[in-house]
Amino acid sequence: MKRRDFLATGLAAGVAALSTQKLTAQLKGKNNFKLKYAPHFGMFNNHAGDDFIDQLKFIADTGFRAFEDNNMKSRPVEVQNKIANEMTRLGLEMGVFVATVDFTNVTFACDKKDVRDKFLKDIKDSVEVAKRVNAKFCTVVPGCYTRDLEWDYQTALVIDNLKRCAEICEPANLVMVLEPLNPWTNHPGLFLTKIPQAYMICKAVNSPSCKILDDLYHQQVTEGNLIPNMDMALSEIGYIQVGDNPGRKEPGTGEINYMNIFKHIYEKNPEFIIGMEHGNSKPGKEGEQALIDAYVAVDSFQV
């Protein structure tokens, strides 16, 4: 073989080897995370652009195995179908979307037919959305509390109204996840604020279609004691969301020890979807990469 041909062949082999190494690294990255962390639209716009399909591709290529979209129910049916088809192709599992929420009015804690009819319609509509996008979970926030009725009577009304909703969800195997929200930083005046409260309500509703959404950001603000409360309520927890506190950004930007928490979740049930319901602490591509690096770091617990 001539020296020139030898060098060319060697160069080509070297390039091929580097390409193989790069591809192997990318393939390893696709299965990198131990838990099913679920980003949302808008989290990686600077890398993926504004197109939903391109964002889903980036999410899957980065190694995430799930996805959530609070606004799915409000999107046109053709968009829902397009998103669902791409998620199926990419092997992404659908997390929560919002079924019914009201941050201003008393809804589940009252006994008004027009109010009840509205949230029951929300639940019926959500069943159809769930069928289209292969969703198992939908978020329910049972509205505000009132000052003109004893608390226990309000609780009884919430339980009764959730039983009506569960009757709609059960035949479709759709699980409402009730989200306690913090009253101090984000949502004053809401009825549901704590994990023990949500646990008691779910036990009373007594339906596989009524569980808890344990948002660890909100619960750190409201009550702390994250792991013990999770353990006490574990049988009624269907879904988990995260964000650090203060600031509600990615893990590592606040006070919550997410590596320990994720290790604990993995040991309890590695099939939990963990919604990344938070913002990015830094702007641009740098901020998006910092977010990815943060999840790589907190997911590096030993099993």
CATH number at residue 213: 3.20.20.150
Is the confidence at residue 6, as pLDDT, over 70? no
147 shares its domain with 266: yes
The answer to whether residue 130 is domain-embedded is yes
Is the confidence at residue 217, as pLDDT, over 60? yes
The answer to whether residue 206 is domain-embedded is yes
How many domains does the chain contain in total?
A: 2
Q: What's the angle, vertex CA 78, arms to CA 76 and CA 84, rounded to 5?
A: 105
22 shares its domain with 76: no
Spatial separation of the C-alpha atoms in residues 145 and 150, rounded to whole Å: 10
Q: Which residue has the tokens 């830094």?
A: 282
The answer to whether residue 137 is domain-embedded is yes
Which residue would you say has higher pLDDT here, 253 or 5? Answer: 253
68 shares its domain with 18: no
Q: What is the mean pLDDT of residues 66-92?
A: 98
Using one digit for the tens of pLDDT, what is the confidence trace for 36-50?
A: 999 999 999 999 999
Which residue would you say has higher pLDDT here, 16 or 153? Answer: 153
The answer to whether residue 97 is domain-embedded is yes
Cβ atoms < 10 Å from Cβ of 7: 11
Question: Who contacts 153 (Cβ-Cβ below 8 Å, separation ≥6)?
Answer: none
178 shares its domain with 257: yes
The answer to whether residue 230 is domain-embedded is yes
Is the confidence at residue 207, as pLDDT, over 90? yes
172 shares its domain with 23: no
The answer to whether residue 303 is domain-embedded is no
15 shares its domain with 59: no
Q: Which residue has the tokens 């591509």?
A: 285
User: In the chain, which ranges are continuous DSSP H helix?
Assistant: 3-30, 45-48, 52-62, 77-90, 113-133, 151-169, 195-205, 216-222, 226-233, 258-268, 284-298
The answer to whether residue 188 is domain-embedded is yes
87 shares its domain with 154: yes
Q: What is the mean pLDDT of residues 99-128?
A: 98
pLDDT at 32: 86
Q: What pTM did the predictor assign?
A: 0.90
- Residues 268, 234 contacting (CB under 8 angstroms): yes
158 shares its domain with 17: no
Using one digit for the tens of pLDDT, what is the confidence trace for 118-153?
A: 999 999 999 999 999 999 999 999 999 999 999 999
Chain-wide mean pLDDT for the chain? 92
81 shares its domain with 22: no
Percentage above 70 pLDDT, the chain: 90
Is the confidence at residue 11, as pLDDT, over 50? no
Spatial separation of the C-alpha atoms in residues 129 and 77, rounded to whole Å: 8
Q: What is the mean pLDDT of residues 43-62?
A: 98
Cβ atoms < 10 Å from Cβ of 190: 22
Using one digit for the tens of pLDDT, what is the confidence trace for 240-283?
A: 999 999 999 999 999 999 999 999 999 999 999 999 999 999 99
12 shares its domain with 118: no
Query: Which residues constitute the domain of residue 12?
Result: 1-30
183 shares its domain with 210: yes
Element (H or E) spanning 50, and its range? none
The answer to whether residue 186 is domain-embedded is yes
90 shares its domain with 222: yes
Is the confidence at residue 82, as pLDDT, over 80? yes
Instruction: Point out the least confidently predicted range of 21-30, 69-78, 148-157, 250-259.
Output: 21-30
